[in-house]
Amino acid sequence: MKKHLVFPILLIGCLSLLSTVRGQDPNYSQFFSAPLYYNPAYTGINTGLRARFSFRDQWPNLPVDFRSYFFSADLGDRNLPGSGGLGLIVNSNNEGIGFINDLSVGLSLAARIPISASVVSQVGIKAALVQKSINWNDFVFSDQLSEKYGNIYQSSFIPPTANKKVFPDFGVGGLLQFANPEGNVNGNLGFAVDHVFQPDESFLSTATAPLPRKYVANLDLVISSGGGGAASSMYATGGANDPLKINPGIIYQNQLGLSTVEGGLNLLKYNIYIGAWYKASWGGISGGDAVALLVGYRYTFAEDMSIKFMYSYDLATTGNLEGLGGAHEISVVLDFDKLTLFGGGGGGNVPGRSMRSGGALECPSFY
């Protein structure tokens, strides 16, 4: 199909978004590399500074693929008020080839509530400013097209004066972080709600388009094999003596009637990541199943500094999106595990443990 023949179809979809039809947020297969995108309670979940970048190119076989970008940086410091963390979140989506652009910039805060030596909880909030823009001039309308010569006519369409919409957006979340007494198993159980107040994202003053709430629940575990548990491998370098890390997890999302569940696991050994995940969606026009395969590598600069590169590919196995090229996804995570600004980093103040040892609850994991 020629690109100019796709434009009228896209226009119909865009105009629908301006009135009563609403869509869903982009979804990253590597949710474990973008935890603040799904739940602000993950802000400062481990001590130190972490910067994360994710890029997703969905349906590349279409001439108008969907691209999403996400960046976050969060600091975990146990001497902060609330003993949680501070975070910065930037999210951008380019729908099609730039017809509709979303840019969201926000801050996240989390408070940490110790329950016992092996269980703590965190609650978080996100406050963001969102700009949604549309480029009317790049559309090609049906009355501009000639069956023989293509785009040669002047359209009678008069675009609206509004091409930008700016509005605030808020999200909240909570989680439980837990570990076994030996310290070789730790995990997180979280729940979050995004777009709490359902802000209006319509470009037109004569119509409304509330951004539907998104509900997210997830559970993941990090299991370290070998002696010494997770705490002793807190700053593992990838040598032969480092334990194998197994990270099974599951995440469920629901927004505007579309439900998505993703489950699978990642493995880390010798600084190499491999993983396999299965995704199922139902209740929307893009429902279907997909398999995501992942590979990655971690490079350690020093005892407490590392960078992780991960690549995954989604392959649709059922549903009406087969043959569209799946999705490519890349994530980069930069860790400074001991960085502290207020004297509460480098392991944190976990009940019953020293600041230096930190324990399993402060052990850097896949997050």
Q: Is 326 a domain residue? A: yes
Residues 6 or more apart whose CB falls under 8 angstroms from that of 9 comprise: none
Residue 137, φ and ψ in degrees, nearest 5: -70, -20
126 vs 152: which has the higher pLDDT: 126
Give CA–CA dist 159/164, Å, rounded. Answer: 13
At residue 345, the pLDDT reads 63
pLDDT greater than 50 at residue 59: yes
Token pair of 235 as six digits: 């700053």
Give the pLDDT band of residue 99 (cuts 50, 70, 90).
confident
- The 8-class DSSP code of residue 236 comes to -
Distances (CA, A) of 246 to 97, 249, 277, 291, 342: 39, 10, 13, 19, 32
141 vs 37: which has the higher pLDDT: 37
At residue 234, the pLDDT reads 46
Q: What is the pTM of this model?
A: 0.83
Domain count, the chain: 1
- The 8-class DSSP code of residue 113 comes to E
Q: Is 367 a domain residue? A: no
Closest-CA residue to 109 (of 194, 30, 171, 189): 171
Within 10 A of 268 (CB to CB), how many other CB atoms are there? 24
264 vs 78: which has the higher pLDDT: 264
Closest-CA residue to 260 (of 287, 285, 220): 287
At residue 357, the pLDDT reads 36
Q: Is 195 a domain residue? A: yes
279 vs 4: which has the higher pLDDT: 279
Mind giving me the DSSP string for 9-50? HHHHHHHHHHTT--------S-GGG-HHHH-GGGTTSSSEEE
Helical (H) or strand (E) element with 72: strand 66-76
pLDDT greater than 70 at residue 207: yes
Residues 6 or more apart whose CB falls under 8 angstroms from that of 330 comprise: 54, 55, 309, 310, 311
- The 8-class DSSP code of residue 361 comes to G
- The 8-class DSSP code of residue 53 comes to E
pLDDT greater than 60 at residue 321: no
Give the pLDDT band of residue 340 (cuts 50, 70, 90).
confident
At residue 203, the pLDDT reads 78
Give the pLDDT band of residue 127 (cuts 50, 70, 90).
very high
pLDDT greater than 60 at residue 22: no
Here the CATH number for the domain that contains residue 116 is 2.40.160.40
Q: Which domain holds residue 84?
A: 3-362
Q: Residues 240-290: pLDDT tens digits?
A: 667 899 999 999 999 988 899 999 999 999 999 999 999 998 876 556 788
pLDDT greater than 90 at residue 330: yes
